[in-house]
Amino acid sequence: MPFATYRDLLPFEPNLFRDVSWTGQRRIDGALASTTGSTLTSALSDFNAAAVGAGFVAILDGATLEVLDRPSATTLTVSLLRDDPAGPALPPPAQTNATLTITSFLPQIAAVHDTLLRTLGIEPADPNASPAATDITNPAALTRLEAIGALHLIFTPAAATADNQSLLWTKAGLYRDRFAALRRRLAVGVDLDGDGLPDATRRPNTLQFTRA
């Protein structure tokens, strides 16, 4: 499972889910929904089938909302963007018969996640790998890096349909450079003996070599 969620993209790009979206990655597209307090209800949606849950981002009539939970197939617990991802919900204004769109950027986030793990000497495709992603002792340090890398992968294809002077190209280059800079500085702790404490420090900017 990636370290970054869709919510982690919002501090960098608050309008991302409103301005960039591909039909093939929309989980909910144009359904009607209403909000009361922190509860969003969409009677004709099936959030279970769409696999929408905590960490997703919902766009309701242009308003960007964090998804905190999925109490049922037709309801979500939502919040305005919080300062602290672990903080209490900030209920949005009440709305009725508003248009709901929920987009997934999982392919982009997952691609960055797998690449980072492999540069740390961890094979994400091997369920028996040792060490594994769960042995990383400071996963929060990778959240920002994954988010920045995913934004580069999101804006690059989006820019391909725009002219050379488009802001999309500027953002694609910006996030490419920021990803490279963060990757050079990051140090990741890895638990090698199962005691929950870091026994090794690995850097995603270097290749890890092992004996055959």
Max CA pair span of the chain: 62
Q: Higher pLDDT residue, 209 or 8?
A: 8
CB neighbour burial string for 48-86, b if at least 16 within 10 angstroms, e if fewer? eebebeeebbbbbeeebbbbbebeeebbbbbbeeeeebe
Q: Does the structure show a pLDDT above 70 at 208? A: no
Find the mean pLDDT for residues 35-52. 97
- 172 close to 152: Cβ distance less than 8 angstroms: yes
Q: What is the pLDDT of residues 148-204, one digit of tens each?
A: 999 999 999 988 877 776 888 999 999 999 999 999 999 999 999 989 999 999 988
Given a cut of 90, whether residue 68 has pLDDT beyond it is: yes
Residue 206: CB atoms within 10 A of its CB come to 12
Q: How many CA atoms lie within 13 A of 181 on its CB side?
A: 7
- Measured CA to CA, the distance from residue 198 to residue 81 in angstroms comes to 33
Tokens (6 digits) for 159: 């820019």
- Regarding beta strands 200-202 and 188-190, do their DSSP bridges make them parallel or antiparallel, or are they unpaired? antiparallel
Which structural domains are found in the chain, ordered by start? 6-103 (2.40.30), 106-202 (no CATH)
**For 83, which DSSP code?**
S
Sort 130 into a burial class: Cβ within 10 Å, 0-12 / 13-18 / 19+: exposed
| pTM strictly above 0.85 | yes
Average pLDDT, stretch 111-134?
A: 91
How confident is the model at residue 22, as a pLDDT? 83
Predicted local distance difference test score (pLDDT) of residue 26: 94
Q: What is the C-alpha separation between 44 and 100, in angstroms, rounded?
A: 11
Higher pLDDT, 189 or 21: 189
- Which pLDDT tens digit goes with each residue over 138-151? 999 899 999 999 99
Give residue 52's pLDDT band: very low, low, confident or very high (50, 70, 90). very high
Return the closest-CA partner of residue 106 out of 144, 153, 171: 153
